[in-house]
Structure 1
Amino acid sequence: MATVLIAEDDEPVRAFVRRALEIDGHVVTEARDGAEALEILEERKGAFDLLLTDIRMPLMDGIALALAAAPQFPDLVILLMTGYADQRERAHGLEALVHDVVTKPFTLADIRAKVTEALAAGPKRPG
């Protein structure tokens, strides 16, 4: 069981991912955008095992969130999600910080497998 923070502006997707992860016994906290997710991370002093964030969101996107969170919380595993090919391309320079990019749409089994794989791999260590 892990503690997971989901940052996703699309409520149905956020609820779907939450249910998928709760099936595996993970404790899930939700944020509606990157700014809210960063606030939660800071309030809880990074007390999460995994940050699962959409790339394209209002206020603060997932890439900005990853860039802000990774140096502050080096033990945090970061997994990005996107339904846009151009957004996936934006994540290419982040291999040192981000475990992977999950392409939407995904199935319940897909997201559960990607989260399990990311948690097993552990956090990325820059440099």
Structure 2
Amino acid sequence: MARILVAEDDDNVRAFVVRALEMSGYDVTAASDGGLAAEEMAAKGGNFDLLLSDIKMPVMDGIALALTVGAQYPDVTIVLMTGFADQRERAHGLDALIYDVINKPFSLAQLTEKVADALAGKPANIIPLARQAF
């Protein structure tokens, strides 16, 4: 069973993502900001298969979190989430570090498909995902 660390500051989005991933059979740990996610990653010695993080968060944003995790735990696959076009552009400079960026809002199917693809090492879909409500 794959272990996933979710970093998302919005309580409702975090609950949706955690529930969706747990229903898909993943072992999920959640953090409400990037700082707490970095602490959790360190406490577990990087023992996660995937980091799924929002980009825009307090304390430590998803870009800083991805840089930290990527430097310390290069085997952890990283997928970022955002509802802001300018934040997605910031992530483009991290192409060698992150697997992909999921646009919010996203559907349950889009989320679980992207996570499964990332864990399987399939090539990322570079076409922006359709905007659907979660």
Structure 2 equivalent of residue 22 of structure 1: 22
Structure 1 residue 119 corresponds to structure 2 residue 119 = yes
Q: How does 1:86-101 map to 2 (within 5 A)?
A: 86-101=86-101
- Residues 30-70 of structure 1, C-alpha deviations (whole Å, 9 max, x = no match): 00000000000001100100000000000100000000110
Q: How does 1:41-120 map to 2 (within 5 A)?
A: 41-120=41-120
Q: How many residues align?
A: 122
* TM-score, normalised relative to structure 2: 0.89
* TM-score, normalised relative to structure 1: 0.94
In the TM superposition, structure 1's runs of 4+ consecutive aligned residues that sit over 6 Å from their partners are: none
The one-letter code of the counterpart of 1:30 is A
Which structure 1 residue ranges, 5 or more long, are not aligned?
A: 123-127
Aligned counterparts of 2:101 and 2:48: Cα–Cα separation in 1: 19
Q: Which has the higher contact order (CA 8 A, sep 6+)?
A: 1
Aligned counterparts of 1:11 and 1:4: Cα–Cα separation in 2: 17
Aligned counterparts of 1:59 and 1:72: Cα–Cα separation in 2: 19
Which structure 2 residue ranges, 5 or more long, are not aligned?
A: 123-134
Structure 2 equivalent of residue 31 of structure 1: 31
Q: CA RMSD in A?
A: 0.8
